[in-house]
C-alpha cells in the first residue's frame, strides 16, 4: 500500500473532511480524493460513506484506521532514525502549539530557527494544549509546545521551558475592582469567564479551589485567552490570565489572599519515538 494513500485516508478520517485534510496535507481536495479512491480500489473496499457534505467511516474504514496509523508511525520512525545518522538538519517538522504560545513565546525562536536551518519546512498546527499532547501521543505531531499537563501520560516526555504566572483579573468597572484584594468567597459570588472544562489552565484553578470547597460560577467559556481578556475588559466576569495578557488600562489585577497560581509552558515529545534532527534542533532552540 502506498504511504501517501494511507496518509490521505488517516487525515480525512481524523479531520472528518476532505477539504480540511487537503489543507493539513498542503494538497488540493481533488488530489486527496484521488488518493483515497486509489486506496479503496486497491483494497476493493469502500472506506468512507459520503452523504451530502458529511462523511463517516465504513466498517472497513474503522478496521483499517488503527492499522494505518501504526504503519505511518513506523514509516515516520524509520525516516527519523535513518536521517538522524547524518548531521543534516532538513525535512519537514510537524509540531503543534497553542495560539497564545504561538503569539507570545515562539516568534523570536522561530525567526532564529528558520534563519539557522533554512532546509527545514515548519508545519505548525495551532490547537489547544490538550489536543497537542494527544496528537504527540498518537504520533501525529513530533513536538508540542504547550501548557504542560499536571498529570501527563506516561508515554509523554515533558521539558519545562517557562514559568507562566497566572493572575486573577476583572474589568476596571467590575465590582471586584473596587476591592483589589478580595477573598475567595467574595470572588466566588461573581460569575467568571474561563477556559473550557478539561483544559489544563482550568484544571489548575479547579485543583487549587478544591481544598477550599469553592466552585466558581461560569458565565461563558472559551479556550482563546485573548477573547477572555476582551470579555473581562467589558465587564462580563472575572478571569484567570497569564501575565502577558493580565496587564493593561482596562484590567484590574486582583490579589487573592489565599492563592498564588502559575502554569508551566514547555515541550512534549513521545518517549518511544526517535526525534528527527529538525526536532532536536527545535528542542535546543527553545531551551536557549
Average pLDDT over residues 48-63: 89
Task: Look at residue 86 and tell me whether its pLDDT is greater than 80.
Answer: no
Band (87; pLDDT cuts 50, 70, 90)? confident
The CATH number assigned to the domain holding 64 equals 1.10.10.10
Domain contains 109: no
Domain contains 15: yes
Q: What is the pLDDT of residue 73?
A: 81
Average pLDDT over residues 75-95: 80
- To the nearest whole percent, how much of the chain has pLDDT over 90? 73
- To the nearest whole percent, how much of the chain has pLDDT over 70? 99
Domain contains 76: no
Domain contains 220: yes
HEC sequence for the chain: CCHHHHHHHHHHHHHCCHHHHHHHHCCCHHHHHHHHHHHHHHHCCCCEEEECCEEEECHHHHHHHHHHHHHHHHHHHHHHHHHCCCCCCCEEEEEEECHHHHHHCCHHHHHHHHHHCCCEEEEEEECCHHHHHHHHHCCCCCEEEEECCCCCCCCEEEEEEEEEEEEEEEECCCHHHHCCCCCHHHHHCCCEEECCCCCHHHHHHHHHHHHHCCCCCEEEECCCHHHHHHHHHCCCCEEEEEHHHHCCCCEEEECCCCCCEEEEEEEEEECCCCCCHHHHHHHHHHHC
Average pLDDT over residues 71-84: 78
Domain that holds residue 65: 1-71
Task: Look at residue 81 and tell me whether its pLDDT is greater than 80.
Answer: no
Domain contains 132: no
pTM above 0.85, yes or no: no
pLDDT digits (tens, 9 = 90+) for 240-261: 999 999 988 999 999 998 889 9
Which of 3-7, 74-78, 148-152 is predicted least confidently? 74-78
The CATH number assigned to the domain holding 234 equals 3.40.190.290
**Pairing between β-strand 54-57 and β-strand 48-51 as defined by DSSP bridges:** antiparallel
Domain contains 57: yes
Q: Which of 130, 4, 96, 13 is nearest to 62 (CA)?
A: 13
Domain contains 271: no
Number of compact structural domains in the chain: 2
pLDDT digits (tens, 9 = 90+) for 117-150: 999 999 999 999 999 999 999 888 999 999 999 8
Domain contains 214: yes
Q: What is the pLDDT of residue 84?
A: 66
Higher-pLDDT residue of 129 and 179 is 129
Amino acid at each position: 500500500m502506498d504511504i501517501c494513500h494511507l496518509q490521505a485516508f488517516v487525515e480525512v478520517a481524523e479531520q472528518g473532511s476532505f477539504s480540511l485534510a487537503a489543507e493539513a496535507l498542503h494538497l488540493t481536495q481533488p488530489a486527496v480524493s484521488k488518493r483515497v479512491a486509489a486506496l479503496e480500489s486497491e483494497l476493493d473496499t469502500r472506506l468512507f460513506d459520503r452523504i451530502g457534505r458529511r462523511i463517516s467511516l465504513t466498517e472497513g474504514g474503522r478496521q483499517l484506521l488503527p492499522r494505518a496509523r501504526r504503519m505511518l508511525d513506523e514509516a515516520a520512525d524509520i525516516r527519523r532514525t535513518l536521517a538522524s545518522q547524518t548531521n543534516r538538519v532538513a525535512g519537514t517538522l510537524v509540531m503543534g502549539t497553542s495560539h497564545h504560545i504561538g503569539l507570545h513565546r515562539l516568534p523570536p525562536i522561530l525567526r532564529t530557527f528558520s534563519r539557522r536551518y533554512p532546509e527545514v519546512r515548519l508545519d505548525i498546527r495551532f490547537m489547544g494544549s490538550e489536543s497537542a499532547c494527544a496528537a504527540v501521543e498518537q504520533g501525529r505531531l513530533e513536538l508540542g509546545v504547550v501548557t504542560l499537563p499536571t498529570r501527563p501520560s506516561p508515554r509523554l516526555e515533558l521539558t519545562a521551558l517557562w514559568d507562566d504566572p497566572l493572575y486573577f483579573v476583572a474589568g476596571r468597572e467590575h465590582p471586584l475592582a473596587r476591592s483589589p484584594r478580595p477573598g475567595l468567597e467574595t470572588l466566588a459570588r461573581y460569575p467568571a469567564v474561563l477556559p473550557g472544562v478539561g483544559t489544563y489552565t482550568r484544571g489548575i484553578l479547579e485543583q487549587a479551589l478544591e481544598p477550599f470547597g469553592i466552585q466558581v460560577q461560569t458565565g461563558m467559556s472559551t479556550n482563546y485567552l485573548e477573547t477572555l481578556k476582551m470579555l473581562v475588559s467589558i465587564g462580563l466576569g472575572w478571569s484567570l490570565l497569564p501575565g502577558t495578557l493580565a496587564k493593561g488600562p482596562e484590567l484590574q489585577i486582583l490579589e487573592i489572599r489565599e492563592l498564588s497560581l502559575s502554569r508551566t509552558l514547555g515541550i512534549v515529545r513521545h518517549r518511544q519515538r526517535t526525534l528527527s534532527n529538525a526536532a532536536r534542533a527545535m528542542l535546543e532552540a527553545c531551551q536557549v
